[in-house]
Structures are given as structure tokens and as C-alpha cells.
Structure 1
Amino acid sequence: MSAQQHFETAPEDKISLSKKLIYGLGAFVNNILAAAMGGMVVVLNLGLGMNPALVGLVSALPRLTDAITDPLMGYISDHTKSKWGRRRPYIFFGAIAAGVLFALLWQFPRGYSEEFYFWFFLIGSIIFLLGHTLFATPWVALGYELTPDYHERTRLMAVQNAMGYVAYLVAPWFVWFMQLDSFDDIIDGAGWLAIIIAAFTVTVGVLPALLLKERFIVPPAGQPMPDSISDPNDKSIKGAIKGFFKGFIVTLKFKPFLYLCAATFLVFNGFQLVASFQIYVIIYYVFGGDQSMGAEYFGWAGTVMAGTTFAVIFFVSWLSTKVGKKRAFYYATAVSMVGYSLKWFFYHPDYPWLVLVPAPFMAFGLGALFTLMGSMIADVCDMDELNTHERREGMYGSIFWWVVKLGMAVALAGGGILLNYTGFDVKLGGAQSEQTIYLMRIFDAFIPTLCSGIAIWMVYKYPITEKKALEIREELERRRQAT
């Protein structure tokens, strides 16, 4: 196969558009919950007066528990045997649990101390994330196994990524919604918004469990192989614990997977850092402390970015079939770096509408990231099966998305620390010092630019090409036919 030639997708490997859309509904639920956790958390500062550093800390700490709960859920899902499959039961009940717990999390009692609200939100977030993990980890794993085809995987991830970004068309308006005159205050607005999101999570989140079928109902290896990670005949608790930790370590040592995790952490961490930070730049630099106007323009910028992402997702999906997944990532990430840098020039108090200009360029970063990474990790799962004789989509998906969550946690915590470092004081309103504004703008524009540049280098080291992926698939199919 030459550099310009590519393999065609066989008809039996294609996924119907309706099934892609159904799977994509899970992405919308997953993203709306994640975006809400990141966007609504400003109520702790703007509504309850919590110190920005504490807001960042209380947002970050619950993610540390995911380091255990996500891989554990992945392991449980990988090794579940039921007539409903390995993934679907958890997706169904997880959607219900996540919705109910999210609604409860944002019902703040009035008149308590900063310390009380810190612990209230910390404990509530940990409990909510347990329900979210029950839903999200098996849903991610289901996507990795729906098709064995190199390019169809990218097309599936393009559809689910596009549907997931519908959430980001809505999420930038959360702060504006919480401040509507129909609510008593931003705290009351957050409580009602959480109930609306929760109802949607429950009703839509269960659909992938009800309407999709799994490709692997049980783990494909019926007997332990010489180099397999776990012994399927060992049903003891000790055997399960041993299998979990051995599989966890093997996953963390697999270099192709680590390159993808590192790149994702850098790109997503850089984006999330400014996502929690740039609203302060818009409010206090572009609009001189006017929260209402700042929130409105922040919403418009987010909507433009999310809208552009739809085109980017399908463009990158097409581009990857022409130049490969790695080069498609290089090109798209480089464009996003231009967008981040443009914020230094186009965020200007005399021309507030210019805040919309960088948004389409920045859209290339995340638009490419979650379209290509999901597809590439599915390829990693095939290489892992070649090495370990096990299908471990749950373990890989859980660790990958924990890295995403860790990036969000680092960004939320880092955003609060950086905001304090700039000398920002919410009590000063629009009278922030010149030094504060200068540092806010520097961090907002150039930290994600640097992170994205390093991510390109990490993907450069990723070894699985289209030809290599096909060779792995052919060997796996020969092995399965022989057993």
C-alpha cells in the first residue's frame, strides 16, 4: 500500500447512521454533564463568595477518586457476563443514577459558611461522579467495539463527537441562564438548571443501552492463553483483584496508548484551563467588570466555536482518510494554536465583537482531538488483544477518560490558582489592576498554545498506521477462527 492508497470499508463493517446517532446520544449526555460541572461551578464564587482557589480545589479533588473508580468500572464491564451484554446494563442504570445525583448536587442550602459549601460540594461531587462513571465507562467501551474497520471507527467517532458538541452549543449559556430575572439569584438559577439537565440525562442516556447491540457479548478468550492477563477460570475475589491490577499495570505500560493519553491531556488541559479562565478575561478586560455583557459575549463566542466544530469534525474525519490520522491531528492542532494566539490581539475593550474571531480557529483543536483519539484507541485495543488475548475496551476507555478528567481537574485547580496569582479580586469589579489584566491575558492566550505544540510531538511518536492496523486485524481474525 502506497502512502496515497487506502483500504475500503467492507459493507459488513459499516455502522448505520441511525446506530451512529444513537451512540452519539451518549456523547451528548456525557458532554453536557462535564460542561455543566465546569461552567456552573462559577456559582461557588459569584453566588456563594468562595475564594477562586478553593473553587478550583473543590472542583479538582473529586477527579482524584476517578483514578480508581474508572479503571475498576472498566474492569468490571470487561468481565461482566450477562444475556444483556457487558456494557448495556451499566449504561442504563448509570444514566439514571447520574441524572438524579446531578440534580441533588446543585441544591445549595442558604446561609452557611465557605467551609460548609466546600465540603457540601466536595462530597456531593464524589457521589455524583460514581454515578457518572457507572454510565460513561461502559458507554465509551461500547463505541470501541462497534466496528473492526480502521476508517469506520473514525466515522463513528466523528458522529458521536459532533453530537457531543451539541452540548457545547448550549453550555456557554449556562452562566447567562442562571442569572435570569425569573430566578431569585444565581444560586436559585443553578438549582433549576441542574434539574433540567438531570431530566434530560435520564431520558436520553438510557437509549444507547436499549437500542444498540454489542459485538462481544462475553470476553472472546474462552480459555486462558499463555500470555493472557487474567485467568477466566479463576472466579475468586483474589483472582479478580490480581487480574485488575495486572491489567491496569499492563495498560499503563503500553506506549502507543500512553502517547495518545499524553497528547489528550495536553490539548484538553490547555483548552479547559482557558475555558474556566477566559470568561474572567472577557468580563473584566473586554467589558470592564460588566458580568451580564461579559456572560453574553462569552456565550456567543462559545456558540461560534461549538458551531464551527461541527464542520471541523467531519472535515477531519474526511482528511484522515486522505493523509492518515496522525497528520490530520497535526494540521488541526496547528490551526487551533493560531486561534489561541489570536486572543491576545482580538480580545479588545474597544471592539468587543472581535472576541468571536479566534473561536473558529480554536475549534480545530477539540474537534480533531475526540474524533481521532477515540478511533486511534480502538486500534490500540486491537493491538492489545494481539498481545494479551483479551478485549479490554473498558480498561483502556476508563484510563483514557480519566486522563481527560484529570486534565479538567488540573485546569480547574490551575485556573483558580492562576487567577489568584494575577491578583484578581472579585470585590474590585472592573477596577482590577493593569498587572492583573496583563497576566490574565498572557495565561489565556499562550498556555494552551504551548500545550498543543507539545501534543503534536507526542502523536508523532504513535506507531499504528492504517497498514499496521489492517495487519493486526487480519491476525486477530485468523486467531479467532482457529479457536
Structure 2
Amino acid sequence: MVVCALKERVLAETPSDRIGLGEKLGYGVGDLAAGLILNFFGFFLLYYFVDLGGLAPAAIGLMLLLTKLIDAITDPMMGAIADRTRTRWGRYRPYLLFGPLPLGFAIVLIFSAPDDLGNTALLIWAYVTYTLAMLAFTAVNVPYGGLLGVISPSSSQRSNVTAFRMLFSALGGILVGALGTTLVRELGGGDEKLGILLTMSCIAAVSVFALLTTFATTKERIPPTETNGSLRGDVGVLIRTGPWIAVAIAAILGVTAIAARAGTAPFFFKYVAGDDGSPVFLFFDRAALFLTALAFGQVAGVLIGYAAQRRFEKSHLLMAAGMLKMAMIAVFYFLPLDAVWPQTGVQFFVGIGFGMLMVLSFSMFTDIAEFIDWKSGRQMTALVVAASVFGVKAGVGLGSAIPGFALSLTGFDANAEQSEAAVLGIQLAFAIIPAAVMIPAAFTLIFYGINRRVLATVESELAARRSRIA
């Protein structure tokens, strides 16, 4: 039965469904923007406002949580709007033409706070500018994710394109890890706040160019239906779809673990490991090695996940990726604090688990969109894929909030020797909590339910339905 279904799936894939290398690269480079922005936020945002700005860690942690409540509303809304957009450029591509410039301006604005602001004014600045940046990010990245769902009706082609997307996302992590702290140090000339601002400005310019490239090089191949139903009806179908809930939870918790480690890393290396920021290998300091190892591991994980999904169920691979992350974070915790290279090697394997999680979960979201279309007749690709954008942003927000609250609750004192309780708080946010959240992330995938046989049936029947409409 499985063999027959897979044969039907291959026969349903026509030459016009296939994506050329140029378009794969063009789509993938768009996620370089998200990779650069979110990795930079994950490492520097809390540090900028707490260690350099003097704000309470809990205040920034609360900001990151509250903005996710806004995202919980705006991300699905943006998905529904994009699904209903009809222009000569398509449903999703117009947002990649008009959205990148506002996004670039908004992310730079976060780190442009005047030096003479008091704590209250700086906190307001943080809340307002970060909220604006996340709204601009939503307006671009939800349609960007929706575009993946209509770039081809073939799951194998979408998985292929997803791999390119995740490779460019990982490249963003590599660039931030390898060059982030160095650029901040060199561009700032000893002024870390200035260095962070100028580095963010470079990231904004690259991000705008990358997203415009995606607009110029991609095509939407699945035509929209004449009517798309009501927004309330779409949301009702979505929240009753078990596979969507399972993957959304796994994605949120998987990113939470990585973001909590990244947000705590500056504090871990400075206050626990006693690192002074000096290069330990070429121009890499310990934090740069930590981030770069994660990003290179992510690249390896993307390649492993993409290759393995041809033979194994995606949900099973995603569970294995989560368990690998949990195990490696635990190993890192028990290594000596001065074990630079063993820590770097273990972090590489954490990255493998993360890369597998990202490429598989994003591919599964587009499969879920096709499943819903087949089952209910509703085209709601961007609304479904909005969960992927929200999952990443929620994971980054929750993960970044964890160190904020942990530091505040355990008595962290910026630029001072830390108490045993404060060191414990850093370790909680850096290792113990990130490892623990991977357990429920893996458990939810038991309820995914869309295996390869089901997906083959979905694709063949949708292809027949669309050919009759055409």
C-alpha cells in the first residue's frame, strides 16, 4: 500500500511542479534575514538592555513575554490576510516587495536609544521599538512562510526548498556567531552599544536585499480559490487540527531551548566561566565559538534531516532530534568550565538536533496545510504556516525571557561578582530548563498522525481535484 501510494505521488508530480536551483536559492536566501535578525536578538537583546542599559532583567523578560501575546493575535491575522490577498504578484510575494524596508528600519531603531535616557524612558523605548520590530517581522515572514506552501504542490519539492531555506537560516547563525562579537568590538571601537547598533545596521541592509531577492526569483504555483471562507471558520478548523497543534508546540519548545541558551551565554561566559572576552582561537572569543558551533551543527542537522526524511517518518525524526538536543545540553552542563574544545564539540551536536528540528518542522507545516486543504477544502496556507513564524518568535521570546526572570529571581547584579544563587540562576537558564523543555516537545509528536502513506493520498487526490478545476 505504501509503495503504491508513493508511486501515485511521483506520477502526480509534473515537470511544472519542480523547482529550479535558482529559485531554490532565491527562496532560501530570504530566511537569511530571519536567521541574522533572530540570532542577533537572541544573543544581544537582553545583554544590551540589562548589562549595558542597566534595566532589571525581569522587566525585559516580561517585555519578551507580553510581545508574544501580541504575536499570538497578529501572526494568525497576518496569515489570514495574506491568504486572502489577490494581486498581480500573487498572494504572498507582494509582502516581500513592500515589507523589507520597514522591517530594516524597525530592527535598527531598537538599538538606537539615546544615551541620556533614564531607566523608565529606556524601558518604554525597549517595549515600543521591539513591538514595532516584531510587527514588521510578522508582516514579512508570515507571507514568506506562506509562499513555501504554494511554491509547488509536491511535498518532496517543498521539502527540498525547505532544506535550502534552513541552510540560509543556519548561515545567519554562522555569521552572527563567527562575526557578531567581533563586529561589535571592532565597529564600536570599545563602545559596545555603538558596536551593537552598527552591526545591527549591517544586518538590516543584508536582510532587505535578501528578502527583495526572494520576491524577484520566486513563483506561486498553486492558484487561489475564488472564495476562502471566513476567518473565524479557518481558525476553527486550524485549532481542531491535531497535527498542527503537535508541531507548533514542538517548534515553540525546541526554539525556546536554543534561545534560552543563547540569551544566557553572555552571562554564562562572563560570570560563571570567568571569560574576559579575549580571542581563544583566531579572532573567536568563547561566546563566538559557542554560537558558531551551534550554527555549523545546524547546517549538518538540516542536511541530515533532509536526507533522513526520505526513509523515515518526519515525526519520528523530530522526536529523535529533540532527544539529541536534550542529551547534549546535559553533557555540556557537566563538563568543566574551562573545557573550551569539549564544550564546542558538544554544542555542535546540540546544533545538529536543532537543525533537524527546524527543517523537519517547517516542512511538516506545509504538509499540514495540504492536509487541511484536502480534508476541509479550505486554502489557508499562510494561516497554517503562521504557526511556524509564531513558533520561532514565541520560542525566541520565551527563551529570552527565561534568563531575564531567572537572573532577577536569583539576585543577579550586573558587573559585579555573583552570589552562588545568581550563578545557579544562570545555570538554570543556560542548561537545566532548556534540557527539560525538550521532554514535552518530543511527547506531543506522538499525536502528529500524518505519515507518508496519508500524505501520498492527500497529494494525489488534491492533484486530481485541482486538474478538474483547471
Determine if the alignment matches structure 1 residue 277 to structure 2 residue 264: yes
Change (3 A) 1:115 1:347: farther
Q: 2:181 and 2:59 mapped to 1: Cα distance?
A: 19
Determine if the alignment matches structure 1 residue 167 to structure 2 residue 148: no
What are the superposed Cα offsets for residues 274-324 of structure 1, whole Å, 9 maximum, x if unpaired? 221133222212126x35569820111211221122122111111111122
Counterpart selection for 1:21 from 7, 21, 25: 25
Contact map agreement 1:71 1:395 (CA 8 A) in 2: yes
What are the superposed Cα offsets for residues 370-408 of structure 1, whole Å, 9 maximum, x if unpaired? 211111111111111123322111111113321321222
Determine if the alignment matches structure 1 residue 325 to structure 2 residue 329: no
Counterpart selection for 1:152 from 129, 154, 157: 157
Aligned residues: 460
Q: 1:365 and 1:179 mapped to 2: Cα distance?
A: 30
What is the 5 A alignment of 1:280-299?
Answer: 280-287=267-274, 290-292=276-278, 296-299=285-288
Contact map agreement 1:336 1:362 (CA 8 A) in 2: yes
Q: 2:124 and 2:22 mapped to 1: Cα distance?
A: 43
Unmatched tracts of structure 2, length 5 or more: none
Determine if the alignment matches structure 1 residue 464 to structure 2 residue 453: no
Determine if the alignment matches structure 1 residue 390 to structure 2 residue 378: yes
C-alpha deviation, 1:2, in angstroms:
5.0
What is the 5 A alignment of 1:114-153?
Answer: 114-153=119-158
Which residue identity lines up with residue 260 of structure 2 in the other structure? L
Q: 1:448 and 1:352 mapped to 2: Cα distance?
A: 20
C-alpha deviation, 1:214, in angstroms:
0.7
Alignment match, 2:196: 190
Q: 1:179 and 1:27 mapped to 2: Cα distance?
A: 26
Alignment match, 1:100: 105
What is the 5 A alignment of 1:298-447?
Answer: 298-349=287-338, 351-428=339-416, 431-447=417-433
Q: 1:449 and 1:110 mapped to 2: Cα distance?
A: 38
Alignment match, 1:238: none
Change (3 A) 1:284 1:469: same
Determine if the alignment matches structure 1 residue 208 to structure 2 residue 214: yes
Which residue identity lines up with residue 60 of structure 2 in the other structure? V
Q: 1:313 and 1:136 mapped to 2: Cα distance?
A: 20
Alignment match, 2:255: 268
Alignment match, 1:256: 243
What are the superposed Cα offsets for residues 117-138 of structure 1, whole Å, 9 maximum, x if unpaired? 1101211122222222221111
Alignment match, 1:448: 434
Change (3 A) 1:5 1:468: closer
* RMSD (Å), alpha carbons: 2.3
Q: 2:313 and 2:187 mapped to 1: Cα distance?
A: 50
Contact map agreement 1:108 1:187 (CA 8 A) in 2: no
- Which structure 1 residue ranges, 4+ long, deviate > 6 Å from structure 2? none
Alignment match, 2:185: 179
Change (3 A) 1:481 1:273: same
Q: 1:356 and 1:5 mapped to 2: Cα distance?
A: 44
Moved more, 189-198 or 160-169: 189-198
What are the superposed Cα offsets for residues 431-473 of structure 1, whole Å, 9 maximum, x if unpaired? 3223432443244223222221222221121010111011112
Contact map agreement 1:177 1:189 (CA 8 A) in 2: yes
Q: 2:303 and 2:341 mapped to 1: Cα distance?
A: 27
C-alpha deviation, 1:63, in angstroms:
2.9
C-alpha deviation, 1:175, in angstroms:
3.9
**Identity over aligned pairs, percent:** 22
- SS of equivalent residue, structure 2 residue 311: helix
